[in-house]
Amino acid sequence: MGLELYLDLLSQPCRAVFIFAKKNGIPFQLRTVQFLKGQNCSKEFLQINSLQKLPVLKDGDFILTESSAILIYLSCKYQVADHWYPSDLQTRSWIHEYLGWHADNIRNIFGVTLWIRVLAPLIGTQVPEEKVKRNRTYMDHALQQLESKFLGDKPFLVGQQVSLADLMLLEELIQPVALGYDVFVGRPQLAAWRGCMEASLGTELWQEAHGPIFNILEQMTKKTLPVPPPESQTNMLFHISKIP
Ligand SMILES: N[C@@H](CCC(=O)N[C@@H](CS)C(=O)NCC(=O)O)C(=O)O
């Protein structure tokens, strides 16, 4: 069996991995694991990742979780163009500097909109209003730091060409946009960066990767989304309780 990627395109880190593999022509078997159907809690998936999280890469007997580790593995194994994960020590270090900051300041903040607008209502609850307000404040604060410290007036995070750090960031920022909060409005630097990202990924791949998340509100309105099974709902309630 060749390379297998376990993904759900509603998830930001899954989309980053999907886009990276597609853009670089890396051949893989897509193993779709749908959160909304509780498939990440199935016995079969537990054998792949006992943490029940996506994305997961399986390359023969080798299993790897964590999107940034997966992107680095793919970059090195398939010798993709250098700009994705630059060999220059200092530029590579900037990628890791960004990824460290991203894990602390972006990752758990920008995905909250999906919980507010879709996941909590789907299981008959809601994210408390004070958490909703706080989340908006945290997003705005992180975006200011992102622009001033990491992006500046460069076309991409670590220079003139797209890197895996840009992809990680893009997918987190697309999440609130698809859920009704356009983080690019009123932020010209960030909007210019988004334009560079769209141009470098291409329209077809952009649409393929983002279709499911951009359709989710419509599906919510039409009540066509699956309701997560009880075994997933326990995890989901725990997740909601952990929203800052
Ligand atoms: N730091 C991890 C985050 C993985 C993660 O939180 N994945 C979410 C989807 S975005 C997940 O699988 N959630 C299912 C669960 O927690 O039960 C990465 O970047 O890969």
Helix runs in 34-148, H state only:
43-48, 67-77, 89-105, 107-110, 112-114, 120-122, 129-145
pLDDT tens digits along 21-40? 999 999 999 999 999 999 99
> Ligand 1, from 39, 53, 74: best to mutate by most atoms within 8 Å of Cβ?
53
Distance 171 CA to ligand 1 centre (A): 13
pLDDT classification of 83: cutoffs 50, 70, 90: very high
- Cβ of 135 closer than 6 Å to ligand 1, yes or no, is no
- Report the alpha-carbon distance of residue 193 to residue 237 in Å, rounded: 35
Point out the ligand 1 atom lying closest to the alpha carbon of residue 8.
9
What band does 127 get if pLDDT is binned at 50, 70 and 90? very high
- Percentage of the chain lying above the pLDDT 70 cut: 100
Residue 101 has pLDDT above 90, yes or no: yes
pTM of the model: 0.98
Atom 16 (ligand 1) nearest CA: 53
pLDDT value, residue 159: 86
Tell me, using a 6 A CB cutoff, whether residue 108 lines ligand 1: no
Distance CA 82, CA 207 (A): 25
**109-125 pLDDT, tens digit each:** 999 999 999 999 999 99
What pLDDT, in 10s, does the model give residues 130-167? 999 999 999 999 999 999 999 999 999 998 999 999 99
Note the pLDDT of residue 1. 79
Predicted pLDDT of residue 34: 98
How many Cβ atoms from other residues are within 10 Å of residue 69's Cβ? 12
Among the listed residues 214, 233, 216, 212, the one whose alpha carbon sits nearest the alpha carbon of residue 225: 216
Mean pLDDT calculated for residue range 203-208:
98
